[in-house]
Chains A and B, each alone.
Chain A
């Protein structure tokens, strides 16, 4: 199946700083990528749909100015958590898929905000 990578795998930052997480499709092009957040012992929650060359579509309740998404190429989408606070500490996961195929998920990025 298709391979999706994320970088970094884990990051620790101070409160008030911004953190960028990268999601790459390694062996295919992805017009659409998705970003999820997962808190301990909970299911994945869809945050936004990342569309190559256009603005992301955010789910209800997700602050678009806080979670900046950029999908500048067909193999890379980035999620920037701006002015991070401890409550933003979570496991962030992206997904992508080839056309007419199911989605494949990245390994996730563990964010800890101190």
Chain B
């Protein structure tokens, strides 16, 4: 299972764009990159998933360089409600594949 490394914490302000980078140097060919968001006392919530290049949905964008050894989650115009822990996970694209969580990034948004 590929190990991931993320910043422990980040701070930003409302209305700013926030980019959280994750390093996964030993990612395997069949691994996908998935980001989850977790609020206190709640289960993680799926944000976005990708394999290469760029993926965008209604809440975020995911940028993956050609070597796939890192990825960047981009949150446009954050609000106070985006304060949460964000986890970058790497695993094969299958519901049967176990996921090992890293430490995550604690994002704090200020007014």
Interface bracket on A: 20 to 34
Q: Smallest CB-CB separation from B45: which chain A residue?
A: A105
Kindly state whether residue A1 has any CB partner on chain B within 8 Å: yes
Nearest CB on B from A45, distance (A): 7
In the complex, the answer to whether A107 meets B94 with C-beta atoms within 8 Å is no
In the complex, the answer to whether A46 meets B98 with C-beta atoms within 8 Å is yes
Kindly state whether residue B101 has any CB partner on chain A within 8 Å: yes
The distance in angstroms between the C-alpha atoms of A102 and B32, with both chains bound, is: 9
Main secondary structure of the interface of B (DSSP, over half): loop
Kindly state whether residue A78 has any CB partner on chain B within 8 Å: no
- Which residue of the partner chain, among B41, B87, B99, B100, contacts A95 with CB atoms under 8 Å? B99
In the complex, the answer to whether B46 meets A34 with C-beta atoms within 8 Å is no
In the complex, the answer to whether A1 meets B46 with C-beta atoms within 8 Å is yes
Kindly state whether residue A100 has any CB partner on chain B within 8 Å: yes
Q: Which of A37-54 contact B (CB under 8 A)?
A: 43-46, 49
Interface size on B, residues (CB 8 A): 22
In the complex, the answer to whether A43 meets B95 with C-beta atoms within 8 Å is no
Kindly state whether residue B66 has any CB partner on chain A within 8 Å: no
- Which residue of the partner chain, among B41, B49, B101, contacts A44 with CB atoms under 8 Å? B101
Q: Smallest CB-CB separation from A107: which chain B residue?
A: B43
Q: Which of A67-109 contact B (CB under 8 A)?
A: 91, 93, 95-108
Knowing A30-B95, A49-B98, A91-B41, the reply to whether A104 touches B46 (Cβ < 8 A) is yes
A-B contacts, 20 listed (Cβ < 8 Å): A1-B46, A31-B95, A34-B98, A43-B87, A43-B101, A44-B44, A45-B101, A46-B99, A49-B98, A95-B43, A95-B99, A96-B95, A99-B94, A102-B34, A102-B46, A102-B93, A103-B99, A104-B46, A107-B42, A108-B42
The 10 closest A-B pairs by CB, nearest first: A97-B95, A105-B43, A44-B101, A32-B96, A43-B101, A105-B44, A108-B43, A93-B43, A107-B43, A106-B43
